[in-house]
Amino acid sequence: MNFYTQQHKQYCGIDLHAKAMYVCSLDQNGTKLVHKNVPTTPAAFLRLIAPYRDDLVVGVEGMFTWYWGADLCAKEGIAFVLGHALYLKAIHGGKAKNDKIAAHKIAVLLRGGMFPQAYVYPSERRATRDLLRRRCHLARKRAELLAHIHTTNSQYNLPKIGKRLANKANREDVAEHFPDLSVRKALEVEVSLIDHYDQLLGEVELYLTRSAKTDDV
């Protein structure tokens, strides 16, 4: 676990959500400078921290909403630290937890050199990384459908299909393997979905091959 240990004059912890965020800033002595809930907008955040920007570090838990905060801090010349969500949960998890408490705990961990860091992925490469993740999601869904065909076959104790269904040519008549018409219809739907996933994955992978070379990820 890698902790952020750099010293600053002021430490800002944010419990960040899509529409609102609780902001807590402490000075070197641990005195609260601000502890307030504000809208999740750059303007609201910058107004709130304006009196406390001198040698300020901002810490945010690594949830899905952190991109804009990291980019805003980089633009404004403010130190930004992304917290490792799993390790943060282990460190400051407790019975009493709300947004106000969470923001204060993040600021306290920053000040005490106990804030577990996560990697801040470069902004220019995030979109490609996120598309890679979506590609993995699509591949998992396709695999689930393929597995379900074999599960259905076992469910009815039918002879083994005996073909590699990942190959499109081997799926063309697989529904005919099932005598029950309703089961056959269900399998036809699944095969159609697999074919669609194949098309989508092909398009995404072609795009990624090109963009990943450009981004050098």
Query: How far does CA 4 lie from the centroid of its chain?
Result: 21
Q: What is the CATH number of the domain that holds 80?
A: 3.30.420.430
The last residue of one of the domains, among 98, 120, 142, is: 120
191 in the same domain as 157: yes
- CA-angle at 133, arms to 128 and 186, nearest 5°: 130
138 in the same domain as 99: no
The last residue of one of the domains, among 56, 87, 120, is: 120
141 in the same domain as 103: no
60 in the same domain as 150: no
Q: What integer is the mean pLDDT of 119-132?
A: 92
Per the structure, the count of domains in the chain is 2
Residue 217 has pLDDT above 50, yes or no: no
Residue 94 has pLDDT above 90, yes or no: no
Enumerate helices (H) and strands (E) in the chain, giving the number of each: 6, 7
Among residues of the chain, what percentage have pLDDT more than 70? 94
207 in the same domain as 132: yes
